[in-house]
Structure 1
Amino acid sequence: MRRDHFRPALLVIASIGAGAIGWNGHVVLLPVALVFPVLWSRARTRSVAALVSAGYFLMASRGLPQGVAAFYATDLWPGLALWLCASVSFVTVHAVLWTKRSGVRQFRYLLAAALTALPPFGITGWAHPITAAGVLFPGWGWWGLVAATAGLMGLITRMWPAVALAFLGFWFWSAANWTDPKLPEGWQGVDLEVGASLGRDASIQRHRDLIATVKNIGSERISSVVLPESSLGFLTPTVERLWVEALQGTEISVVAGAATIDAEAYDNVLVLLSADGGRLLYRERMPVPGSMWQPWRLWLGTSGSARANFFANPVATVGDRQVAPLICYEQLVVWPVLQSMLHDPDLILAVGNGWWTKGTSIVAIQRAIAVAWAKLFARPLVLSFNT
């Protein structure tokens, strides 16, 4: 009786630990997240399965309340509310699909994993254990994804100790031989530390400072320079002309974050600028729910929401390269990168504007996820963040 009394508490505590360790921003620790499906399968009631799911998800996303408070310059209560609301889809899916029937439990988990990787549940499908595939099976590509998925199902069966030992073997081998993804030849990402002013300071001086930074980096060896999300603020003909004129006489191409606006909504975008002119490169598929993507505004006929382009433009062309772009929030969920990899891009481009995450591990987690996917598919990676 005492063992049965303490078992649920131990499962929840272990799930909290898995969320804390697996999602702390160190890429080689991502496989710790694989403890979650084991704990979920060991629950003996649906309510305990829900608590295990909540403990894992809430700890993995623990930086959200503080980040939201910083973004809106408020106390923690709005962030706490959003944190709890965001956990609802993850917890609901795993609670509803939990079953006592051991013979079908692994298939139920497979369905839960698929649902939390794809919209609509996948819109808040953070901390997905499948991300660990990039650490366990670097360079395996889609076969690595299949192997990780099969292993996740195996962790739900009675053979889970053997599957766990196999995962440990792959993990230790990978960690012992770990190298970060390479930069693509001729590319360089720029990390900035200008805080909340990026994208909000529209002064000529700010643009001149960014142009000087780009020119200092550009050389015969570096021809493509990447700036973080929101670097240019709102994209206007004046801003575009300023940059195009400044790049005259150079061979530099600049990929930079910006925003375009119309009467209904705005798009979070990447633009390509060079001496030959400027063009829209990419529209963000999944902006941050709540703070950026506010679909109720469109439903009510009001403006102010970022537009979610969901499955549009999975790849973009820069010169002779096919690029898989991921802006900020898209790095935390699963389907954008997998959709992009279906098109066999030459490199992954991950940018963000994480000034509001100061004091949290959110940007480190974003970087770790981007590195994991780049390692899984053996693609060069360009990172560019503002903090």
Structure 2
Amino acid sequence: MTLLTVSRSAADRRPRTARLAALGAALLLTAGLSSTAGASPTRSHLPDPAAAARSVESDAEATTVLAVSIDGLNPNALTRLGRAGTPNLHRIMDEGASTLNARTEVELTVTLPNHTGMVTGRRITARTGGHGVIWNDDRKRPATVQAASGRPVESVFTVVNRAGGRPALFASKTKFLLWKRSWPLALKDTVIEERNGVLVTELIADLAQERSFRMLHLSLPDVAGHKHGFMGPRYLAAVRRVDRLVGRVLRAVDRSPALSQGLALLVTADHGGKGARHSVATSVANYRIPFLVRGPGVPAGSDLYELNPTYADPGRRQPSYAAARQPVRNGMLANLSLDLLGLPPVPGSEHDAGQDLEVTPPVAP
């Protein structure tokens, strides 16, 4: 059964737990996964993952998507630490398509507004069609994203659920309970646990279930940045630790041939950061983030901007939403995930609403 686990303090080793719901049986788009709910993944390894990816047709669809947001991950940390310090995140870049020069939402560079953009595909400002979530705490009013926006707002979770799937959320901050209040039918399976290692253990256990979409939120870099300064030694140590957690997930995927062949992995961040804070939305250190994609048909070692000439590498700028050629943004996570699953975009969304962000080369005529 799926638990909603809320750990109020990272130091509290006895989080309060409430049982929510039993997992469903067969879900959408998981034909290649284990046919028995709760069964352990087969423990075997694929040959060279890059070669395997190249052997898949370029229009192949994923059977399941795992979207990972690493809270407060400044892409300069990956450059600074290199492959030796962050081998698992570099492995994803080596085996897929990526950029270390993606962008946040324009309006704010803080956690909850940007994450809500990731799952709705919307900008932030409500009066121009955004989701309206401008706060970054556990407040209960407005109670839902819809109340903040003043209009109906759907998400990647509702689209997957409506198509017959049962999405899941694994988050390390209690503020994400906003999403469960906003989309309660779609987010029946939610785990909130501030201890990132425990959260990853929960996620890995869930990989045995037949499920088409999961989202994992990891907070270690952001927590360290706020306590000790972004891009400082303790922050970089936290990035190393979160890389090891990503490595645990990759090893779990490697043990299952079905997941190795059918899982698409997306990794991005809600903001960067440098020094004491990350809230100045006009600072490049705050709005520059990574965006990594690995999965069926994604060419190994490719650059997202080279794959997408209609999108523009912004250099050090933060283009407005009116710019003719947009950068890759974290808000594209929802519709790219749905595109990889062969599902339509989130209704009313803006970021990648045409699902034209390409992560596979075009099929040769």
TM score, norm. by length of structure 2? 0.28
Asked which structure has the greater CA Rg, the reply is: 1
Relative contact order (C-alpha < 8 Å, sep 6+): which is higher?
2
TM score, norm. by length of structure 1? 0.27
Structure number with the higher helix fraction is 1
